[in-house]
Structure 1
Amino acid sequence: MNYAERLHVPLRWWALATMFLATVLLAFLVATPAWVAFAATGLMLAAVVAVFLSYGGARVTVEGGLFTAGSARIPVDQLGVPVAHDAAASRRLAGVDADARAYLLLRPYIPRSVQVPVDDPADPTPYWLVSTRHPDRVVHALVAAGAPSGRRVEGAHLDHPDEGE
């Protein structure tokens, strides 16, 4: 089972940026010649689009025995038991319970995450914490690709079909 997700920015960010740029354009039109207002707003629009597409371009995939999160990749056979976390557990793991050596791919607009321990003795990274809109699907894809499966963990939710629920 393969999994692929792009962590694109939410529509409300685009709406807010559009309203902000419209406000800037109106302010510039009042204070500067029209060509300056349109040029400045056009440059800001290009910058906003570039930032949103870049920031929202991160991908989370499980394909061909590899788990990819952003620009980082790791073979699934070097991973421990993946755990799907809800918003509260994700916030705690990214904050007070965080390990500074962990690999984090977090987006503030995606509250849930998957935590995947790294079982490679040569790798100093203890785990990956990755934002995802579908943490259970990522866990299922990792387990199907060869990562070990586990049981329920407090503060997490796993919906394995093989569990007796």
Structure 2
Amino acid sequence: MENISIISTFTAFNSINELPEDVKMLMQQAVAIRQKSYAPYSKFHVGAALLLDNGEIVLGSNQENAAYPSGLCAERVAVFYAGAMYPDAKILKIAISAASEEKKVEDPIPPCGACRQSIAEYEMKQDTPIEIYFMGEVGKVYKSDSLKNLLPMVFESKYL
């Protein structure tokens, strides 16, 4: 028997103002699109902004549905749109922001498991890491250098 240790490392910025200018602009777009989400059930609003290697920025917000789990998270809306509209482009960076109508969200909110798996598919397809920046409504912003840092031991197509 052996023990396996997996370590994830993140960069923590104290606020959106500490981000590099290009990422700050991307996060501002995630915050803006978050306000266009449709979340009447959870009252939890999420926005995502992707920077592609062709210079395009793709936005997504969560879209809920009374027939759970028919809705989609902001990250998957944006990633799937990028895949449909720009199938040959690589995703360089993702900025994610979350807010609640019930309370102030001050902690960085990472992608859920389904979104992590979807982002993993694109990271493996493009064979290039995707930088992921995530925050709540205010406060710290965390950066992961790749999806594999967020989802170690990822399930991928080579297992099929």
Q: Same fold (TM over 0.5)?
A: no
Normalising by structure 1, we get a TM-score of 0.27
Structure with the largest fraction of helix: 1
TM-score (norm 2): 0.27
